[in-house]
A and B are shown apart, each in its own frame.
Chain A
Amino acid sequence: MMIRRLRRITPFQVILVTVFTALAAFMSLPIVFILNHAFKPTNELFLFPPRFFVQNPTGSNFEQLFLHATNATVPFSRYVFNSVVVVALTLISVIIVSTMAAYVLAKYQFHFKQLILSLITLSLMFAPETVGIPRYLIISGIHLNNTYLGHILPSLASPIAVFMLVGFISQIPGELLEAARIDGASHFGIFTKIVLPLAVPAIATISIFTFQGVWGDVETSTLFMQDETMRTLAFYVNSLLSGLQNSVAGQNIAAAAGLLMFIPNLIIFLLFQRKVLETMIHSGIK
């Protein structure tokens, strides 16, 4: 068995596997670097030429980060709490809004459907910076400054999520939904019992990038939140880093904060990764 399998490997496959392994190793360098960097003592952080791997790992960077944080006017835990609330609420609302919108756009016929789809695609084109000012005007116009809604609302309409879900849901065979209609399911019943469970891989995918976007987002905190107690962890870490850029002492805090911001991303990705692969592999459901 083993021999037969070995024999089937062609030189092309050998090259392919080697190249991709090398590529994967290269891509993982930043992650390895962040992990090592956070545990470097101050003298190693300033070594020249810089070292990739940590020689004498230490936890003092984290100690200093928390010391610095406890000295701040707003407690560190408040930033964490804000971030968790904002990320959780945004994630849930984006999933609800996007799946519903995508289901209707993918499976129903109505006037201006193509126009709406084109507008969604078109909105993918704008960089976040270009919509910063209009967003600010809207948020302050409806007095959402310094509220959680002010964090959530701007990212609620997620064109990329709707776009991906439309593609995925339109591959669910129409007969399935018709069968459910005959079985007696309401429109909402079809959506919750059939469409949602089948769209789980796509939902996992949009969850990952929505999470990453919102978790690392500083725009809402910078533009819409004047009250420091309403700002998020990403904003705190960001201000920490930019404030400490030229300070020698700050570098170890920055290294530790970098890792802290990265870890939730990694966890979410590992949780949903298998489902994401399914999205890419499964183009059909049958």
Chain B
Amino acid sequence: MGSITFNHVFKQYKGESRPAVNDFHLSIEEGEFLVLVGPSGCGKSTTLRMLAGLEEISDGELYIDEKFMNYVSPKDRDIAMVFQNYALYPNLTVHENIALGLKLRKTPKYDIELRVNRVAKILEISHLLDRKPSQLSGGQKQRVALGRAIAREPQVFLMDEPLSNLDAKLRAQTRAEIIKLQSDLKRTMVYVTHDQVEAMTMGTRIVVMKDGVIQQVAPPRQLYDEPANLFVAGFIGSPQMNFVEGNVTLEEGRYYFSNKRMKLLLPRAYDAQFEKMNRAVRNVVLGVRPEHVLLKPSEESDDENGFVASVVQMTEVTGADSYVYVAVGESKLIARTDPGISYSKDDIPAIGFNMKKLHFFDENTGVSLAGGGEAQ
């Protein structure tokens, strides 16, 4: 119960040249917490709305529990949805808001009471049941919206950026509660967000989208460690991954990454990646996460380990970490360092990389040479 299959689903709006959702092909297992993430306009909300039945599917098939759903109306799909602006009925009390869906489904009265009270207890909104939505704070409205979805006990929960109207502290708290709810209810949940932190912390699997196309589908850890392309690499992680353009050359059986400023001898572990690129000059983009950029005071600088000179442009102290922005020639890099060692502007530390944690992408296509993840 609660499995979802998208079979090459398209959404084409009239008068637009490219589809809003382009060949969305994915299976979601029962009880999975799937997060759709991407920048605004990437088609993630449209996908969710097609799943809810609020948008027509232009092409392809949608199945919920193996049942063909393309033309089934929203109310018959056994889904509940939480909207970004909560969409509570302003003319009804909290109790009536939660109960409306049940009433419309002709649930017996005692059952409605039972479910409303149980949900109110879970979400700690029992004392608010008689109020109107206008008398609630943002966080309380959010709970009521969640309550309305839970009370229905649907097979699938759909959430469209439900936390983006909350302040940072409340967002973190509600995030944790939704995760707990999902694990308690064991229902399939499809969650749309543009916030990669939310995606990483909540999802059991994450779908990264861009321009209506799935970029990568993977569990959070894999998404972080093995991004399928430049877009995913740059989108997931904060501050974002550093990118350095250059080329890979083969000298005496060893591969080197080099550009105007640096020449790095690459460990043998990467050899297989480059052998696939059967070209004499291999233009690549080197990607390295800030925590894998190493800084050393300049006097210890030596070229042997691939350390090169850099200039500090600014530093950002966040508390647990500090981020040092450095320039190596034209490349700008961010290094995550121990806040105990402070760098100030125009310092010239040596910079190097954790050689085991490098990513290489094809400069033309942006695709990872490691072929990581379930790229599409």
Contacts and interface: CB of A to CB of B under 8 A. Distances in A.
Given A184-B75, A184-B104, A193-B100, A178 B89 contact: no
Contacts of B356: none
Given A175-B83, A189-B104, A193-B100, A182 B74 contact: yes
Contact of A185 (B75, B80, B83): B75
B104 A182 contact: no
Contacts of B84: 175
Interface string B305-344: 0000000000000000000000000000000000000000
B75 A183 contact: yes
Interface in B64-100: 73-75, 79-81, 83-85, 87, 89-91, 100
A176 B148 CA distance: 13
A286 interface: yes
A46 B313 CA distance: 93
Contact of A182 (B81, B85, B89, B90): B81
A183 B101 contact: yes
Interface string A177-210: 0111111110001000110011000000000000
B105 interface: yes
B90 A198 contact: yes
Among A175, A178, A184, A197, chain B packs the most CB atoms within 10 A around the CB of A184
Contacts of B90: 176, 198, 285
Interface in B121-167: 148, 152
Contacts of B104: 183-185, 189
A175 B165 CA distance: 15
Contacts of A189: 104
A75 interface: no
Contacts of B83: 175, 178-179
B83 to A, nearest CB: 4
A181 B74 contact: yes
Interface in A60-81: none
Contacts of A178: 52, 54, 74, 81, 83, 87
A182 B73 CA distance: 8
A182 B100 contact: no
B85 to A, nearest CB: 6
A180 B80 CA distance: 10
Nearest to A185: B104
A194 B88 CA distance: 10
Tell me the dominant secondary structure on chain B's binding face. Answer: loop
Interface residues of A, number: 18
A182 B91 contact: no
A182 B52 contact: yes
Contacts of A198: 90-91
A184 B52 contact: no
A57 interface: no
Contact of A173 (B73, B85, B105, B152): B85
A113 B83 CA distance: 28
A180 B87 CA distance: 9
Contacts of A197: 91
A183 B85 contact: no
A183 B73 CA distance: 11
A185 B84 CA distance: 20
B107 to A, nearest CB: 10
A179 B85 CA distance: 11
A215 B73 CA distance: 45
A182 B105 contact: no
A179 B75 contact: no
Interface in B15-42: none
Contacts of B105: 184
Most buried by B among A183, A185, A197: A183
A181 B91 contact: no
Contacts of B53: 181-182
Contacts of A176: 87, 89-90
A197 B92 CA distance: 9
A179 B90 CA distance: 12
Instruction: Give the most central of B73, B104, B152: most A CB within 10 Å.
Output: B104
A50 B81 CA distance: 70
Nearest to B90: A285
B52 A194 contact: no
Nearest to A195: B91
Contacts of B75: 181-185
Given A179-B81, A194-B89, A184 B54 contact: no
A217 to B, nearest CB: 33
A189 B90 CA distance: 16
A184 B148 CA distance: 12
Nearest to B133: A286
B87 A175 contact: yes
A275 to B, nearest CB: 13
A278 to B, nearest CB: 12
Nearest to B96: A193
A193 B97 CA distance: 11
Contact of B100 (A173, A183, A286): A183
A173 B87 CA distance: 8
A189 B91 CA distance: 14
Contacts of B79: 182
B11 to A, nearest CB: 16
A119 B51 CA distance: 37
Contacts of A173: 85, 87
A175 B133 CA distance: 15
A143 to B, nearest CB: 43
Nearest to B73: A181
B96 to A, nearest CB: 10
B100 to A, nearest CB: 6
Q: Which 9 A-B pairs have the closest CB atoms?
A: A183-B101, A175-B87, A184-B104, A197-B91, A184-B75, A179-B87, A175-B83, A182-B74, A181-B74
5 contacts: A173-B87, A179-B148, A184-B101, A194-B91, A198-B90
Given A178-B87, A182-B80, A184-B101, 7 more contacts: A178-B81, A181-B73, A182-B52, A183-B101, A184-B105, A193-B100, A194-B89
